[in-house]
């Protein structure tokens, strides 16, 4: 009896030891337009293709980094560990799924269809059975994915190994687009940016994505105290799989890399204004007078503003740096008699780290109450 009690104590002690409380980073990028801003990575590998990490660890990594959703997208056609790991194409998802459910990470069933150019590598998300994608003809594989309801996107379109001289859109991609076999494109993969892909996405109405394509443990590649993996921001009605899918097909995304965002002005502008707060009491600027406005940035992004045209009736800074999680005091000077009668002071800035096209920054208007 005593022995039993002792052994129970012993077991309890070890259970306590093996549990720990982990800390998740919370990415501060606001919700906009009534949508939830989900932080996602839709291109991830495990040991079940050419990755170096077990599937459940991918879920833990995503949780620690503050992500909401991931897709494990092991290659269908490339299995360098196959002499040690023999399993079917659904196995990495099945192993990761209970861990995802426990931690509240949305886990999307995906795969990477891995072919030479054209059409190159394509990820298929929200599939039902990855084993059926093992097809001789790439079009058959993509049609199978489409028939399973997949969202399909072109991975690393400018990857030098497949497009050594210039990043080209092939006639095969036009075929895919016309046959509902292509819905999105990576404008960012790992550390590579493909400006052509952003232009094509704008022209051809494709969803933009930025993903890690991580093979190694995430912390080997990114110092998470300092930076983060490339992230696809998805503006979804709810935080669940069906809303995520609906938003991807509806092209409600932006791409978040280091301190930069890429996306449509329709999303970047509300994101900028939801990130900052400008004090609203009238500044009562007069000719020869000075006024200060306080701008508070509650997001994780530093915003770098550059004046695009001189303000009418008053002076304002050429550049403003709105540091993440800081307040910035901005000085205005009255330089006309009219300023004393102006209800609103308007300032036009280009946000240098928010891009709507490869060479186009988001332009914002800051309205300051004067009277
Ligand atoms: Zn990949």
Of 258, 279, 301, the residue at which a domain comes to its end is: 258
254 and 282 together in one domain: no
pLDDT, residue 165, reads 85
7 within a domain of the structure (yes/no): no
**Ligand 1 centroid, distance to 152 Cα (angstroms):** 13
Centre of ligand 1 to C-alpha 351, Å, is 32
* Whether 250 and 287 share a structural domain: no
Tell me the average pLDDT across 40-67.
97
Least confident piece of the model among 99-103, 165-169, 256-260: 165-169
**C-alpha 105 to ligand 1 mean position (Å):** 20
Q: What is the pLDDT of residue 279?
A: 87
Q: How far, in Å, is the centroid of ligand 1 from the Cα of 86?
A: 19
274 CA → ligand 1 middle, Å: 33
Interacting residues of 170 by C-beta distance below 8 A, sequence separation 6+? 117, 118, 119
Q: Over range 264-275, report the average pLDDT.
A: 98
R_g over Cα of the chain = 25
Place of tokens 């301190």: 259
Distance in Å, CA 326 to ligand 1 centroid: 37
247 and 301 part of one domain? no
Å from CA of 289 to ligand 1 middle: 58
In a domain, 127, yes or no: yes
Q: How far is the CA of 264 from the centre of ligand 1 (A)?
A: 26
Do 282 and 252 share a structural domain? Answer: no
User: What does the pLDDT read at residue 41?
Assistant: 98
Per the domain annotation, does 168 fall within a domain? yes
**Is residue 66 very low, low, confident or very high in pLDDT (cuts 50, 70, 90)?**
very high
How far away, in angstroms, is 302 Cα from ligand 1 center? Answer: 30
Question: Quick one: 96 and 236 in the same domain?
Answer: yes
Looking at residue 237, which CATH number applies to its domain?
3.20.20.140
Question: At which of 207, 237, 258 does a domain end?
Answer: 258
Residue 9 lies in a domain: no
Q: Quote the ligand 1 centre to 252 CA distance (angstroms).
A: 23
Give the chain's domain count.
2
Query: Which residue's entry shows tokens 């992004």?
Result: 301
CATH of the domain at 284: 2.60.40.10
Residue 159 CA, ligand 1 centroid: distance in Å: 11
Q: Identify whether residues 290 and 222 lie together within a single domain.
A: no
CA 103 / ligand 1 centre spacing (Å): 24
How far does the centroid of ligand 1 lie from the alpha carbon of residue 96, in Å?
18
Q: Which of 19-23, 129-133, 207-211 has the lowest mean pLDDT?
A: 19-23
Q: Residue 112 Cα, ligand 1 centroid: separation in angstroms?
A: 6
Whether residues 238 and 283 share a domain: the answer is no
Q: For residue 72, how far is its CA from the centre of ligand 1 (angstroms)?
A: 10
* Within-domain flag for 179: yes
Ligand 1 geometric centre to CA of 45 (Å): 7
- In the predicted model, is pLDDT for residue 15 greater than 60? no
Q: Check whether residue 222 and residue 89 sit in a common domain.
A: yes
How far away, in angstroms, is 180 Cα from ligand 1 center? 22
Residue 12, pLDDT above cutoff 80? no
Average pLDDT over residues 35-60: 97
Residues 228 and 337 in one domain: no
Distance from the alpha carbon of residue 46 to the mean position of ligand 1, in angstroms: 10
Residue 335 in domain? yes
CA of 44 to the centre of ligand 1 (A): 7
Instruction: Tell me the mean pLDDT in the region 256-264.
Output: 98
Q: Phi then psi for 155, rounded to 5 degrees? A: -85, 150
pLDDT of residue 36: 98
CA of 71 to the centre of ligand 1 (A): 11
CA of 151 to the centre of ligand 1 (A): 16
Same domain, 218 and 290: no
- pLDDT surpasses 70 at 5: no
Cα of 191 from ligand 1 centre, angstroms: 13
Domain boundary among 204, 232, 258: 258
Check whether 190 has a pLDDT greater than 80.
yes
Burial 33-51 (b: 16+ CB within 10 A, else e): eebbbbbbbbbbbbbbbbb
Q: How confident is the model at residue 302 (pLDDT cuts 50, 70, 90)?
A: very high
Whole-number Å distance, alpha carbon 97 to ligand 1 midpoint, is 20
Specify if 18 maps to a domain: no
What are the CA-CA distances from residue 122 to residues 44, 126, 307 (Å)?
Answer: 13, 13, 41
| Distance (Å) from CA 359 to ligand 1 centroid | 27
Convert the pLDDT of each residue in 192-207 to its tens digit: 999 999 999 999 999 9
Quote the domain boundaries for residue 351.
Answer: 271-369
Q: How much is the average pLDDT of 300-320?
A: 97
> How large a percentage of the chain has pLDDT more than 70?
95
Whether 201 and 277 share a structural domain = no
pLDDT confidence of residue 280: 82
| Structural domain includes residue 17 | no
Strands (E), the chain: 36-44, 69-72, 106-114, 121-125, 151-154, 184-189, 192-193, 207-211, 231-236, 253-257, 260-263, 276-278, 290-297, 303-307, 314-315, 319-322, 326-334, 344-357, 360-369
Question: Cα(211) to centroid of ligand 1, in Å?
Answer: 9
277 and 346 fall within a common domain: yes
Average pLDDT over residues 82-102: 95
**Residue 66 alpha carbon to ligand 1 centre in Å:** 22
């Amino acid at each position: 009896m005593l022995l039993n009690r002792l052994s129970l104590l012993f077991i309890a002690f070890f259970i306590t030891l093996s549990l720990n409380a982990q800390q998740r980073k919370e990415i501060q990028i606001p919700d906009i337009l009534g949508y939830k801003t989900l932080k996602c990575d839709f291109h991830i590998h495990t040991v079940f293709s050419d990755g170096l990490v077990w599937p459940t660890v991918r879920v833990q990594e995503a949780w620690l980094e503050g992500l909401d959703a991931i897709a494990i997208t092991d290659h269908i056609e490339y299995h360098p560990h196959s002499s040690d790991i023999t399993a079917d194409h659904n196995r990495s998802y099945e192993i990761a799924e209970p861990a995802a459910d426990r931690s509240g990470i949305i886990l999307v069933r995906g795969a990477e269809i891995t072919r030479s150019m054209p059409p190159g590598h394509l990820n298929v998300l929200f599939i039902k059975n990855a084993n059926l994608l093992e097809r001789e003809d790439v079009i058959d594989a993509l049609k199978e994915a489409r028939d399973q309801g997949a969202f399909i996107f072109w991975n690393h379109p400018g990857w030098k190994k497949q497009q050594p001289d210039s990043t080209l859109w092939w006639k095969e991609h036009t075929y895919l687009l016309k046959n509902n076999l292509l819905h999105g494109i990576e404008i960012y993969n790992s550390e590579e940016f493909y400006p052509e892909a952003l232009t094509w996405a704008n022209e051809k109405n494709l969803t933009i994505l930025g993903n890690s394509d991580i093979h190694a443990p995430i912390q080997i590649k990114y110092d998470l105290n300092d930076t983060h993996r490339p992230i696809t921001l998805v503006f979804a009605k709810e935080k669940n799989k069906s809303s995520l899918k609906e938003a991807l097909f509806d092209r409600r995304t932006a791409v978040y890399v280091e301190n930069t965002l890429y996306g449509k002005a329709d999303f970047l502008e509300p994101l900028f204004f939801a990130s900052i707060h400008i004090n609203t009491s009238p500044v009562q600027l007069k000719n020869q007078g000075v006024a200060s406005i306080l701008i508070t940035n509650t997001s994780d992004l530093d915003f770098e503003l550059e004046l695009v045209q001189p303000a009418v009736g008053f002076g304002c800074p050429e550049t403003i740096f709105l540091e993440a999680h800081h307040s910035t005091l901005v000085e205005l000077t009255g330089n006309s008699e009219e300023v004393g009668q102006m209800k609103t002071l308007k300032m036009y800035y280009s946000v240098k780290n928010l891009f709507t096209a490869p060479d186009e920054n988001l332009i914002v208007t800051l309205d300051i109450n004067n009277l």
